[in-house]
Homo-oligomer: A and B are copies of this chain.
């Protein structure tokens, strides 16, 4: 199929390559010229702006948006709502908040433009070689774009998930689970690191990936990371987060579903970004007040 791709960052460029490798024809646009050149190298046809990108596609057009969630996505969607025609299809493959996606769908619908919210998982490797896609939007129209996913997804790695918003909603929950799994794995290795036994973490992770209950892609990545840098001595333990773990917790709170592990994982990420905490100072001050316990002065 012929489709447009807006956004040629790490994920977008890999998706373009994946699409081209599967004989789709991509008109590719990014603000960054270098990115456009890289897309051209893998066979895509670069466009110098969205107007040119749109002009290269016959109606009904299919345009995949792969830009940072939030303001950038909103700005691109708004622009497309002004430039596209009724019957065209916009796919947001980014990490948008599902309520934003519903709003985007409603905006586009005022012009008769169709919208799919697509949660994308599998990381950069998946985008390139076979990713994982959760797809919300109109069920009948989904058939039109399904061949794209048949090409670029891992075998059996896509699912039509229901009404608009359901794709990004599911991706949000996916990331909430991911936060918990990563934290669980990391805590386990942290205990190992402090134990009297001296384990080879790369060998342990590798062994666990061959037949154990906790074998998983994350454990494979752990094995790879430990191989590259045993002891992870060159890293700081700063655990940044995009929005999706946070949204999962907010959604759990909204629905009053207890998710103590996802909550603890997120809390721990925030904690990792601080060198010291006011919480700690207050507790230290209280201990000093009642017990004369020594405090560490600055």
A binding-site residues for B, Cβ under 8 Å: 10, 121-126, 130-132, 134, 153-159, 161-163, 165-166, 169-170, 173-174, 176-195, 197-199, 203-204, 206-208, 210-219, 221-222, 224-226, 229, 232-240, 246, 248-253, 255-298
Contact = CB atoms under 8 A, between A and B. Distances in A.
B293 A240 contact: yes
Given A173-B192, A185-B181, A191-B251, A277 B218 contact: no
Given A181-B216, A213-B123, A283-B239, A278 B190 contact: yes
B207 A134 contact: yes
Contacts of A182: 282-283, 286-287
Nearest to A180: B184
A185 B285 CA distance: 12
Contact of A177 (B184, B253, B292): B184
Given A159-B204, A279-B258, A280-B239, A124 B291 contact: yes
28 contacts: A10-B292, A123-B292, A131-B211, A157-B207, A157-B212, A161-B199, A177-B184, A180-B181, A180-B184, A180-B188, A181-B181, A183-B261, A184-B265, A187-B259, A191-B248, A191-B255, A214-B217, A222-B282, A229-B285, A232-B278, A235-B296, A235-B297, A235-B298, A238-B295, A258-B268, A261-B264, A263-B263, A272-B283
A281 B132 contact: no
A294 B265 CA distance: 19
Nearest to A248: B191
Nearest to A155: B210
A187 B197 contact: no
Contact of A207 (B156, B249, B253, B261): B156
A271 B183 CA distance: 14
Contacts of A249: 253
Nearest to A253: B246
A247 to B, nearest CB: 10
Nearest to A211: B154
A8 to B, nearest CB: 14
Given A197-B162, A197-B169, A282-B222, A262 B210 contact: no
A195 B221 contact: no
A262 to B, nearest CB: 5
A202 to B, nearest CB: 11
B186 A184 contact: no
